[in-house]
Copies of this chain bind each other. A is one copy, B any other.
């Protein structure tokens, strides 16, 4: 009577959502200040002032039929030119407005890119841990998702595994750095090795293996020494999927873009397929007012010092208690080894201390948990003694 696959997607509550609901119920029972919810990846710092200032400026200065009117399907030309010029200046990669397609945020960037590239029977490779919606997006576009485990210590790609997995059916490798859920950032050597391998395989197959780079956390890095390499500087067959949700703290407004590397094989045709996919999925254009806000605030960030403080506090404390964590160079997540083999049991044990986090198995990584630190610093400070007790219970 209806589409069962869509019904399943819509009726199965995600684990993260379940924890969120549990936290609400539990807060009502014992008080919100006694429940420590580290499950949700929702920006906890306000948008930079420039965002609201630009909204008001546009409302006051731009005629209504222009401001709120349709833009072209790929986005307002002036907006795209501005963002492309910034991209070229920031990353040293020549990009024009005609290589950019404005989207309704990161999820749209991904679904549109995948539908543009994928034919039935194609394969897309991701490295665990990975954002679980990738499976929904890839499979719904008609491809098979192949999940490769990462290096156990660094959580960077295992290139032996990749070498073995690559085959002519692979349409794309989908990466996410800084990573949700691990916070790991691909360094230059990792990006170089990955891109060299894709280049070699593309030559071997006589057709490109695309690199789709999902970069909503691109600006969320905390150390002077951390750099997020721009994939287009290493490889041509690249689609960058960007969103302003995390950098500008406006995840509800749904604004981002796809950048098709102009040097990609058949770049113009791929860009046309992106436009076609956006049309077929029902996107029409990205929200008009926020296209202008994005152009005005492109490259700015919300106050990241809160996330840095949270990360340092949490990482230093947890490792000092004996937990094993991967140092998170970016994003606002910390990936921690469960203190027993069964991470689900570990999450349940933590619940006794009112500590709520997400089982790494949800991200394709058994034996780990994700701790989202986009919370008030004070929540972390009050939670630390409980983390300590949890460590002690395990004899760490």
Is A105 in the interface zone, CB < 8 Å from B?
yes
Distance between Cα atoms of A205 and B278 in the complex (Å):
35
Q: Which residues of B contact A154 (CB under 8 A)?
A: none
Is A11 in the interface zone, CB < 8 Å from B?
yes
Interface size on A (CB < 8 Å)?
Answer: 79
- The distance from the CB of A326 to the nearest CB of chain B, in whole angstroms, is 26
A47-55, A226-234, A310-318, A332-340: which one contacts chain B? A47-55
Is A31 in the interface zone, CB < 8 Å from B?
no
Is A284 in the interface zone, CB < 8 Å from B?
yes
* A208, closest chain B residue (CB): B1
Q: Which residues of B contact A42 (CB under 8 A)?
A: 65, 69-70
Contact at A2–B270, with CB atoms within 8 Å?
A: yes
Contact at B1–A207, with CB atoms within 8 Å?
A: yes
Contact at B111–A281, with CB atoms within 8 Å?
A: yes
Is A94 in the interface zone, CB < 8 Å from B?
no
Contact at B3–A115, with CB atoms within 8 Å?
A: yes
Distance between Cα atoms of A56 and B52 in the complex (Å):
9
Q: Which residues of B contact A182 (CB under 8 A)?
A: none
Contact at B51–A269, with CB atoms within 8 Å?
A: no
Contact at B116–A6, with CB atoms within 8 Å?
A: yes
* A107, closest chain B residue (CB): B282
Contact at A284–B115, with CB atoms within 8 Å?
A: no
* A251, closest chain B residue (CB): B70
Q: Which 9 A-B pairs have the closest CB atoms?
A: A252-B288, A10-B276, A111-B282, A9-B276, A10-B275, A46-B64, A6-B276, A68-B250, A10-B272
A-B pairs with beta carbons under 8 Å apart, 27 shown: A1-B269, A2-B117, A2-B270, A3-B115, A5-B276, A6-B116, A6-B273, A6-B274, A7-B116, A9-B276, A10-B116, A10-B276, A42-B69, A46-B65, A47-B64, A47-B68, A51-B68, A55-B55, A55-B59, A68-B251, A104-B287, A108-B284, A111-B281, A140-B280, A250-B288, A252-B285, A281-B282
